[in-house]
C-alpha cells in the first residue's frame, strides 16, 4: 500500500466534523458528539525508541498541543461558511538516562499552522453538500523561518443524504497536494440503533467508531482513528528532508458536556504506527505504544439567521 494515499485522505479530516453554525440541516444524527467551536487538545504517547547509526537505542515521549477555533463567515438556514485557523506544537522529549545520541530529535521545534474552510449547502429537505479545503505549513522551525516551509493543501467535496432519522450516507472526492497530487474517493456513514442509545460512525479511511450514549451529556466511543503528522526539516547539510508519522489510535474515548457551552473528551488506548519517514541517520526501533489525550472544547453560541 502507498501510504501517501492514506496521508492524503487524512488531510481532509476536518470535513467530517459537524458545523459550528446552526443551519437547519446539519451533518450528523441525534446522539452524536456536539459541534465544537474552540478546541484545545493535549496528547502524549510515551515509549518511542529511536537510535542513530552508531549510538544505542534511546527512549522518547511524543507530545503535542493543538488549538483550533471556528469562525462563522456566513450563517444562513440553507448555507453556511466557517473558517478555522489552527496551530500545533509538537516535540519528542528525551526520556532515557545518559547522553542523547540523537540531539536533533529532542531539539526540534516542530510547528504546524494553517486554516480550514468549510461550506455547507442545503440541496433538499434531506440532502446537503459539504465542501472543505485546507492550507497549512508544517515544519521544524529550529534555526529556520516558516518561509522555507512549503505549503500543503487539500480540497474535499462530499454529498450527504439522510435516508431516515437513523441513517445518513455520503460519498465524495478529495484532491490533495503534498508530496504529490492525489485524487481519491471519500465515504461517510452514520447509523443509529432503534433505541437511539448507540450508533456507528464511519468516515473512511479516517475513523470507525461505535458510540454508546450513557445520557444526554455522556458518550463513550470504542474507536479506531488515524492521524498523520508531516514536518519539513533540514539536515546538517541544510538539505530539505521530511519527518512523517502515520498512526492509528485504537481505544476508548469519553465525551462529557459539563454545561451548555463547555465539554471535555478523554481518550486512552494504543497507538499503532503505520508508517514513518525519518531524516537520514535516525533509525526507528519502537514506534507504537500507549497513547492518551485530554481535550477541552467550547460549543458554538451562534444561531442561524433567518
What pLDDT, on the 0 to 100 scale, is given for residue 22?
A: 43
Is a pLDDT exceeding 60 seen at residue 116?
A: yes
pLDDT class for 179, splitting at 50, 70, 90?
low
Among 86-95, 122-131, 171-180, name the one with the lowest average pLDDT. Answer: 171-180
Tell me how far apart the alpha carbons of residues 152 and 177 are, in angstroms, rounded to a whole number: 6
Dihedral (Cα; 94, 279, 290, 57), 10-degree rounding: -50
Tell me how far apart the alpha carbons of residues 259 and 32 are, in angstroms, rounded to a whole number: 16
Dihedral (Cα; 296, 205, 60, 255), 10-degree rounding: 20
| Highest mean pLDDT, choosing among 13-17, 89-93, 248-252 | 248-252
Average pLDDT over residues 107-112: 84
Is a pLDDT exceeding 60 seen at residue 306?
A: no
Please return the burial class of 95, using the count of CB atoms within 10 Å of its CB with bins 0-12, 13-18 and 19+.
middle
pLDDT class for 237, splitting at 50, 70, 90?
low
Stretch (H or E) spanning 3: helix 3-10
Degrees to nearest 5, angle at CA 255 with 254 and 261: 160
The 10s digit of each residue's pLDDT in 20-59 is 444 444 678 889 999 899 999 999 999 888 887 777 888 8
What pLDDT, on the 0 to 100 scale, is given for residue 52?
A: 79
Stretch (H or E) spanning 215: none
Tell me how far apart the alpha carbons of residues 28 and 35 are, in angstroms, rounded to a whole number: 10
Go through the domains of the chain in sequence order and give each one's CATH number.
Answer: 3-298 (2.40.160.40)
The 10s digit of each residue's pLDDT in 251-293 is 999 999 999 999 999 999 999 999 888 887 788 899 999 999 9
Is a pLDDT exceeding 80 seen at residue 99?
A: no
Q: Decide if 49 contacts 220 (C-beta within 8 A).
A: no
What pLDDT, on the 0 to 100 scale, is given for residue 56?
A: 81
Tell me how far apart the alpha carbons of residues 160 and 252 are, in angstroms, rounded to a whole number: 27
Q: Decide if 35 contacts 298 (C-beta within 8 A).
A: no
Please return the burial class of 243, using the count of CB atoms within 10 Å of its CB with bins 0-12, 13-18 and 19+.
buried
Whole-number average pLDDT of the chain: 84
Is a pLDDT exceeding 70 seen at residue 19?
A: no
Percent of the chain's residues with pLDDT above 70: 84
Task: Give a three-class secondary structure readout of 100-159.
Answer: CCCHHHHHCCEEEEEEEEEEEEEEECCEEEEEEEEEEEEEECCCCCHHHCCCEEEEEEEE
DSSP string, 13-67: GGGGSPPSS--SS-SS-TTSPPP-SEEEEEEEEEEEEEEESSS--EEEEEEEEEE
Dihedral (Cα; 179, 245, 133, 188), 10-degree rounding: 120
- How many C-beta atoms lie closer than 10 Å to residue 135's C-beta? 15
Amino acid at each position: 500500500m502507498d501510504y501517501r494515499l492514506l496521508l492524503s485522505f487524512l488531510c481532509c479530516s476536518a470535513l467530517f466534523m459537524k458545523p459550528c453554525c446552526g443551519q437547519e440541516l446539519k451533518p450528523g444524527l441525534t446522539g452524536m458528539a456536539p459541534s465544537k467551536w474552540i478546541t484545545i487538545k493535549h496528547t502524549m504517547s510515551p515509549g518511542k525508541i529511536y537510535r542513530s547509526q552508531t549510538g544505542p537505542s534511546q527512549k522518547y515521549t511524543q507530545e503535542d498541543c493543538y488549538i483550533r477555533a471556528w469562525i462563522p463567515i456566513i450563517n444562513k438556514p440553507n448555507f453556511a461558511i466557517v473558517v478555522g485557523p489552527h496551530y500545533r506544537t509538537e516535540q519528542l522529549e528525551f526520556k532515557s538516562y545518559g547522553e542523547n545520541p540523537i540531539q536533533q530529535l529532542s531539539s526540534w521545534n516542530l510547528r504546524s499552522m494553517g486554516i480550514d474552510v468549510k461550506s455547507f449547502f442545503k440541496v433538499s429537505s434531506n440532502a446537503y453538500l459539504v465542501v472543505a479545503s485546507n492550507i497549512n505549513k508544517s515544519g521544524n522551525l529550529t534555526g529556520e523561518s516558516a518561509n522555507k516551509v512549503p505549503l500543503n493543501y487539500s480540497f474535499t467535496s462530499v454529498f450527504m443524504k439522510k435516508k431516515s432519522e437513523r441513517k445518513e450516507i455520503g460519498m465524495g472526492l478529495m484532491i490533495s497536494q503534498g508530496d504529490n497530487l492525489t485524487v481519491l474517493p471519500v465515504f461517510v456513514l452514520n447509523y443509529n440503533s432503534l433505541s437511539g442509545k448507540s450508533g456507528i460512525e464511519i468516515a473512511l479511511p479516517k475513523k470507525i467508531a461505535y458510540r454508546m450514549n450513557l445520557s444526554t451529556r455522556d458518550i463513550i466511543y470504542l474507536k479506531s482513528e488515524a492521524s498523520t503528522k508531516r514536518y519539513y526539516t533540514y539536515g546538517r547539510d541544510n538539505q530539505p528532508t521530511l519527518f512523517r508519522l502515520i498512526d492509528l489510535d485504537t481505544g476508548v474515548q469519553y465525551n462529557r458536556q459539563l454545561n451548555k457551552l463547555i465539554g471535555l473528551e478523554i481518550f486512552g488506548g494504543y497507538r499503532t504506527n503505520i508508517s514513518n519517514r525519518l531524516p537520514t541517520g535516525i533509525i526507528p526501533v519502537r514506534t507504537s505504544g500507549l497513547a492518551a489525550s485530554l481535550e477541552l472544547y467550547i460549543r458554538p453560541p451562534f444561531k442561524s439567521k433567518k
